[in-house]
């Protein structure tokens, strides 16, 4: 069954929609309502007549309408019966929030849940999850933050608590999300199947996954399926549980096989999945993928007003395998005209600490025109003569004329933070350090290589 109705349901029932505002079932219902889901919402609670102004139903069977998705947030011992009723009702997807299944030794209960679902042709997300969200349909069926920034990043997570925490963090960082899926025990729907669906989702530009481990015996299928996903969309994974103690912690957390880190690294490589080493790095890269088109080539220049950050970026470019071009004499001559005589026209192109907005704009116009350049790393250090916000606003305007991918590293204090915000809002992925900007472009170039290697797989 296609997952389309999970992400674009016509109606959602919340089974266990509590009247108590502090309970999980209530929070999910409230988030659904307040985030603005436009389909029908049916609270199910045998003891209530109305919750949050919506008519409540004693059972899902009482609902006089088709139900595409049922969110289940009642104690584990009641889940099977509710699942049966959903099956009889013709529900298509069960989103089972409830804990107390295989992660807690109740393999039997989880097996039965999947059996019930199979019997009626339903698919199961979970159990043991915080829910899911899909911003294009204004679905926030989670008990995380009420608001979710809209954008092109889809995030699948095997850790619920981390996922919820990252909902707040991505909101603060203004990282725009498409889908957000808590994977939990992956009793039925797993990371590969959801990624496969999202690879064809027009609102998803990049898929990010927090993974603790795969189920035993699914490694080969993971590689094969992920290769087909990666041929269509970039996938970034952060693999937790790489250390010996970490892998034991993962086993008791989600019951997955954390396995040797080398095996996972090899599997990700074969699958063409990009592996980030920290959550911050994963979202840095995801920001770039969500804002930019995949680069057409890898010839790169660094444009800076600070020698130091230029050198740091150069070191990082070498470390991350980004080819920095040696500009031709023709290009150098053009650049000389837009900077002080003591600037540098080599790569990094150093406009010097005296650079003004106009120097940046003119240099960018030349780089945009030049066949020698595919990508631009733009760096800025706070100086007394150049207001970062003025530069950011001008670059945001200039971006409309720019066809080449540009990533930026802006270094400085509070006003630089604001400039970074403006740039990110206007489609230029911008970071508070040169290395993070370089690393993000490097991830895109790596994906470009992977995709051309996998070409035709999809």
Q: How far apart, in Å, are the Cα atoms of 113 and each of 85, 86, 94, 187, 416?
A: 12, 12, 10, 9, 52
Q: Could you give the CA distance from residue 321 to residue 398 in angstroms, rounded to a whole number?
A: 28
Identity of the residue, 107 or 368, whose beta carbon is nearer to ligand ACO in the bound complex:
107
DSSP 257: B
Token pair for residue 169? 């963090």
Q: Could you give the CA distance from residue 191 to residue 196 in angstroms, rounded to a whole number?
A: 8
Q: Does 46 bind ligand ACO (CB under 6 A)?
A: yes
Q: Select from 5, 19, 393, 421 the one that contacts ligand ACO (CB under 6 A).
A: 19
Q: Select from 5, 48, 387, 426 the one that contacts ligand ACO (CB under 6 A).
A: 48
Q: Could you give the CA distance from residue 273 to residue 267 in angstroms, rounded to a whole number?
A: 8
Q: Which stretch binds ligand ACO (CB under 6 A): 14-22, 208-216, 286-294, 363-371?
A: 14-22
Q: Select from 4, 20, 49, 452 the one that contacts ligand ACO (CB under 6 A).
A: 20
Identity of the residue, 129 or 386, whose beta carbon is nearer to ligand ACO in the bound complex:
129
Contact 120, 60 (CB under 8 A): no
Q: Does 24 bind ligand ACO (CB under 6 A)?
A: yes
Site mask for ligand ACO (CB under 6 A), range 162-191, x = bound? --x---------------------------
Token pair for residue 289? 């993928």
Q: Shortest Cβ contact with ligand ACO: which residue?
A: 160
SS3 for 311? helix
State the minimum distance, in angstroms, from the CB of residue 368 to ligand ACO.
47
State the minimum distance, in angstroms, from the CB of residue 27 to ligand ACO.
10
Q: Does 128 bind ligand ACO (CB under 6 A)?
A: yes
Identity of the residue, 99 or 270, whose beta carbon is nearer to ligand ACO in the bound complex:
99
Question: Which H or E run includes 93?
Answer: strand 93-96
Token pair for residue 398? 């200039």
State the minimum distance, in angstroms, from the CB of residue 81 to ligand ACO.
7
Give the interface size with ligand ACO as a residue count (CB under 6 A): 28
Q: Strand 50-51 vs strand 40-44: parallel, antiparallel, or unpaired?
A: unpaired
Q: Select from 9, 16, 151, 405 the one that contacts ligand ACO (CB under 6 A).
A: 16
Q: Select from 93, 101, 130, 283 the one that contacts ligand ACO (CB under 6 A).
A: 130
Q: Could you give the CA distance from residue 193 to residue 200 in angstroms, rounded to a whole number?
A: 12
SS3 for 324? strand
| DSSP string for residues in 349-394 | EE--TT--HHHHHHHHHHHHH-TT-SEEEEEEE--SS--HHHHHHH
Token pair for residue 308? 């130091």
Identity of the residue, 47 or 403, whose beta carbon is nearer to ligand ACO in the bound complex:
47
Q: Does 252 bind ligand ACO (CB under 6 A)?
A: no
- Does 162 sit behind a cis peptide bond, omega within 30 degrees of 0 on the bond before it? no
Q: Does 25 bind ligand ACO (CB under 6 A)?
A: yes
Q: Select from 29, 82, 117, 408 the one that contacts ligand ACO (CB under 6 A).
A: 82
State the minimum distance, in angstroms, from the CB of residue 179 to ligand ACO.
17
Q: Does 15 bind ligand ACO (CB under 6 A)?
A: yes
Q: Compute and round to an integer the Cα radius of gyration of the chain.
A: 25
State the minimum distance, in angstroms, from the CB of residue 90 to ligand ACO.
17
Q: Select from 11, 98, 192, 195 the one that contacts ligand ACO (CB under 6 A).
A: 98
Q: Does 125 bind ligand ACO (CB under 6 A)?
A: no
Q: How far apart, in Å, are the Cα atoms of 419 and each of 171, 187, 324, 351?
A: 17, 45, 26, 19
Site mask for ligand ACO (CB under 6 A), range 104-123, x = bound? --------------------
Count of other CB atoms within 10 angstroms of residue 384? 7
Residues that bind ligand ACO (CB under 6 A): 15-16, 18-20, 23-25, 44-48, 73-75, 78, 82, 97-100, 128-130, 160-161, 164
């Amino acid at each position: 069954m296609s997952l389309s109705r999970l992400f674009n349901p016509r109606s959602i029932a919340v089974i266990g929609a509590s009247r108590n505002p502090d309970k999980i079932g209530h929070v999910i219902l409230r988030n659904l309502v307040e985030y603005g889901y436009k389909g029908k919402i049916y609270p199910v609670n045998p003891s209530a007549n109305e919750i949050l102004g919506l008519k409540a139903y004693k059972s899902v069977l009482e609902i006089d309408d088709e139900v595409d998705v049922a969110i289940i947030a009642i104690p584990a011992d009641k889940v099977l019966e509710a699942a049966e009723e959903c099956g009889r009702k013709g529900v298509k997807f069960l989103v089972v929030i409830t804990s107390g299944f295989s992660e807690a030794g109740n393999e039997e209960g989880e097996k039965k849940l999947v059996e019930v679902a199979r019997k009626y042709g339903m698919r199961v997300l979970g159990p043991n999850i915080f829910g899911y969200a899909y911003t294009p349909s204004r679905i926030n069926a989670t008990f995380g933050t009420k608001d979710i920034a809209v954008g092109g990043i889809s995030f699948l997570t095997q850790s619920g608590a981390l996922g919820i925490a990252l909902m707040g963090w991505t909101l603060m960082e203004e990282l725009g999300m498409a889908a957000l899926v808590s994977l939990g025990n992956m009793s039925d729907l797993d990371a590969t199947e959801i990624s496969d669906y999202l690879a064809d989702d027009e609102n998803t530009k990049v898929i990010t996954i927090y993974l603790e481990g795969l189920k035993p015996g699914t490694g080969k299928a993971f590689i094969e399926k992920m290769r087909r996903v990666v041929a269509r969309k970039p996938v970034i994974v952060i693999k937790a549980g790489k250390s010996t103690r970490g892998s034991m912690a993962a086993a008791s957390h989600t019951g997955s096989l954390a396995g040797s880190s080398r095996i996972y690294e090899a599997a990700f490589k074969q699958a063409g999945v990009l592996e980030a080493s920290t959550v911050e790095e994963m979202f840095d890269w995801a920001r770039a993928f969500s804002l930019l088109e995949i680069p057409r080539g890898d010839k790169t220049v660094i444009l800076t007003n600070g020698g130091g950050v230029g050198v740091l970026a150069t070191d990082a470019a070498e470390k991350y395998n980004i080819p920095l071009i040696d500009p031709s004499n023709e290009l150098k001559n053009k650049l000389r005209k837009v900077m002080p005589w003591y600037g540098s026209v080599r790569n990094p192109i150093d406009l010097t600490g005296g650079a003004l907005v106009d120097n940046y704009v003119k240099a960018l116009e030349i780089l945009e025109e030049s066949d020698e350049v595919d990508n631009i790393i733009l760096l800025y250090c706070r100086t007394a003569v150049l207001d970062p916000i003025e530069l950011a606003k001008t670059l945001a305007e200039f971006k409309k004329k720019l066809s080449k991918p540009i990533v930026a590293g802006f270094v400085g204090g509070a006003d630089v933070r604001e400039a970074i915000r403006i740039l990110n809002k206007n489609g230029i992925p911008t970071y508070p350090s040169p290395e993070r900007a370089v690393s993000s472009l490097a991830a895109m170039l790596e994906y470009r290589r992977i995709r051309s290697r996998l070409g035709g797989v999809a």
